[in-house]
Structure 1
Amino acid sequence: MRAAVTGLSLALSWLTVLPVRGPHDIGRPEGRRAIAAAPAVGALLGAAVAGVLWVLSEAGLDPTLAGLLTVGALALATRGMHVDGLADTADGLGCYGAPERAREVMRSGGAGPFGVAALIVTIGVQALSFGALGAAQQWAGVIVAVTAGRVAVVIACRRGVPASSPRGFGALVADSQGRWAVGLWTVVLAAAAVWAVPDRWWQGPVVIVAVLAVAAFLIRHCARRFDGINGDLLGATLEFAVAATAVGFLLGG
């Protein structure tokens, strides 16, 4: 029980701006527990985001503006580190050269053309999708979409996917999640998605399985390109999963 609480507190300190103190000494065991607890943090963030979107919608804002402000609030709540990882990963994938060169581009600190394009498209998709979900009062869909990003991070850290460097965030969490963690969170998320799309209970679980399968494929591709995973790739995976899930819940509407 204490280990689970430690993992959740560390996950909150890593993934949100909440003033939660994690353990003083952080190694791979603590990193493993924090990543395993990431979807729980996602559910909390999702509920908060759905609340913000509801307030903005009730205030009479246009769905597009409400969605954009909601995405901005989510970025603030997570220190914007995931969108930074998205831009860095896109630039790394867009460069030529060996994995070392790609990782150097990712560490450069600036956003190149691929990174800017990825940010515009992904944030735009999330904003429009959240706005549309809010207009349709699909609040469960918003919560599940935000949580899906954090489940994708668990999948990214599954056994057999190494870190790209022996130092840094990736080294703490890569290759740390067993099949039970991946399977459990996938089943829980798919079950929650039953309520994501009104009148089509089956669509939510199908979207979750499809998005997480694509995320796993992209993670494997990026791990080969970069010789492993790092914190930037985890952020990119998270943002992709949120956007893709939200779009999936709107299909056929």
Structure 2
Amino acid sequence: MGPLLDAWRLAVGTLTAVPVAPPRTVDARTAGRAMLLAPLAAVPLGAVVAVVGLVGPELGLTALVTAVLAVAALVAGSRAFHLDGLSDTADGLTASYDRRRSLEVMKSGSAGPAGVAAVVLVLGTQVAALTALLREDRGWLVAGVLVCLSRCALALACTRGVPGARPDGLGATYVGSVRPLATLALWLAAAAAAYAATGPSGVVALVLAAAVVVLVLHRAVRRFGGVTGDVFGASVELGLATLLVVASA
């Protein structure tokens, strides 16, 4: 129970603003388990989005205002952790064709024009798609489920065989920490959850989100030589945007 509890604390403490005791041990095995638990650790975030989506219209708010508040709550609940990764990844991809220069830009922490544009465009896409989704029956519930499922991107990014771009950094412990069969099992479970929540369209959304994440990882490996913690965050945000867009169609 100890190792599993450490993984749970690592997942919740890293991916949400929910206060938890720090894990006693953080190694590759704990990190891999944490990534597999990421969708469950995100349940509080999904619940907040669902509640805002449900209560907003009851308070007389428009779907657009409700969607903005829901996304804002999600950003606050995750401490903008994944958005920071999205910004740094965009800056790294546009900074230079030199691998070392790109990694230096990503590590600097400052947001450049590409990073700002990426965050604005992805958040705008999420808000627009969520606005349409909240106009549908049980759209608030679907939105909450999709927030949780978007965190499956982390297991995919940490699957054994996906190389790391550098030996240090926040993501170094997580690189290659998840077995391929475990990743497959997680995504199959996610497909079942998506089907239960939205029917066949949910499975289609999940498949397309997986494809987007794979493209992000492929691009990162080609440009940076591997993945980083920033790439993990970009995968989550782009995966969520894809899920919301397809679900709202």
- The TM-score with structure 1 as length reference comes to 0.93
Matches within 5 A, 1:118-129: 118-129=118-129
Q: Determine if contact 2:130/2:248 at 8 Å carries over to the other structure.
A: no
Confirm whether residue 239 of structure 1 aligns to residue 237 of structure 2.
Answer: yes
Q: Secondary structure at the match of 1:55?
A: helix
Q: Determine if contact 1:46/1:144 at 8 Å carries over to the other structure.
A: yes
User: Which residue of the partner structure matches residue 68 of structure 2?
Assistant: 68
User: Percent identity between the aligned chains?
Assistant: 37
In the alignment, residue 184 of structure 2 is paired with which amino acid?
Answer: G
In the alignment, residue 85 of structure 1 is paired with which amino acid?
Answer: G
Q: Secondary structure at the match of 1:169?
A: coil
Q: Determine if contact 2:48/2:70 at 8 Å carries over to the other structure.
A: no
User: Which residue of the partner structure matches residue 58 of structure 1?
Assistant: 58
Deviation at 1:29, TM superposition (A): 2.2
Q: Secondary structure at the match of 2:37?
A: helix
Please list the CA deviations of residues 113-137 of structure 1 after superposition, one character each: whole Å capped at 9, or x if unmatched.
1111111111011112222222213
Q: Determine if contact 1:57/1:134 at 8 Å carries over to the other structure.
A: no
Q: Determine if contact 1:153/1:237 at 8 Å carries over to the other structure.
A: yes
Please list the CA deviations of residues 196-239 of structure 1 after superposition, one character each: whole Å capped at 9, or x if unmatched.
43xxx211111111211221122122122111111111010000
- Distance, in Å, in 2 between the alignment partners of 1:181 and 1:194 is 20
Please list the CA deviations of residues 79-134 of structure 1 after superposition, one character each: whole Å capped at 9, or x if unmatched.
11111111110111112231111111112222111111111111011112222222
Unaligned 5+ segments in structure 2 are none
Deviation at 1:243, TM superposition (A): 0.7
In the alignment, residue 250 of structure 1 is paired with which amino acid?
Answer: S
User: Which residue of the partner structure matches residue 96 of structure 1?
Assistant: 96
Q: Determine if contact 1:83/1:119 at 8 Å carries over to the other structure.
A: yes
Deviation at 1:39, TM superposition (A): 1.5
Q: Which deviates the most, 172-181 or 240-249?
A: 172-181
- Distance, in Å, in 2 between the alignment partners of 1:6 and 1:108 is 30
Q: Which deviates the most, 86-95 or 133-142?
A: 133-142
Matches within 5 A, 1:81-120: 81-120=81-120
Unaligned 5+ segments in structure 1 are none
- Distance, in Å, in 2 between the alignment partners of 1:131 and 1:21 is 36
Deviation at 1:174, TM superposition (A): 0.6
User: Which residue of the partner structure matches residue 175 of structure 1?
Assistant: 176
Correspondent of 2:215 among 214, 217, 239:
217
User: Which residue of the partner structure matches residue 226 of structure 1?
Assistant: 224
User: Which residue of the partner structure matches residue 192 of structure 1?
Assistant: 193
In the alignment, residue 8 of structure 1 is paired with which amino acid?
Answer: W
Q: Which deviates the most, 240-249 or 25-34?
A: 25-34
User: Which residue of the partner structure matches residue 140 of structure 1?
Assistant: 141
Q: Determine if contact 1:141/1:246 at 8 Å carries over to the other structure.
A: no
In the alignment, residue 114 of structure 1 is paired with which amino acid?
Answer: A
- Distance, in Å, in 2 between the alignment partners of 1:60 and 1:130 is 17
User: Which residue of the partner structure matches residue 206 of structure 1?
Assistant: 204
User: Which residue of the partner structure matches residue 45 of structure 1?
Assistant: 45
- Distance, in Å, in 1 between the alignment partners of 2:142 and 2:182 is 22
- Distance, in Å, in 2 between the alignment partners of 1:30 and 1:85 is 22
Q: Secondary structure at the match of 2:117?
A: helix
In the alignment, residue 191 of structure 2 is paired with which amino acid?
Answer: A
- The TM-score with structure 2 as length reference comes to 0.94
Q: 1:129 to 1:191 in 2, by over 3 A?
A: same
In the alignment, residue 166 of structure 1 is paired with which amino acid?
Answer: P
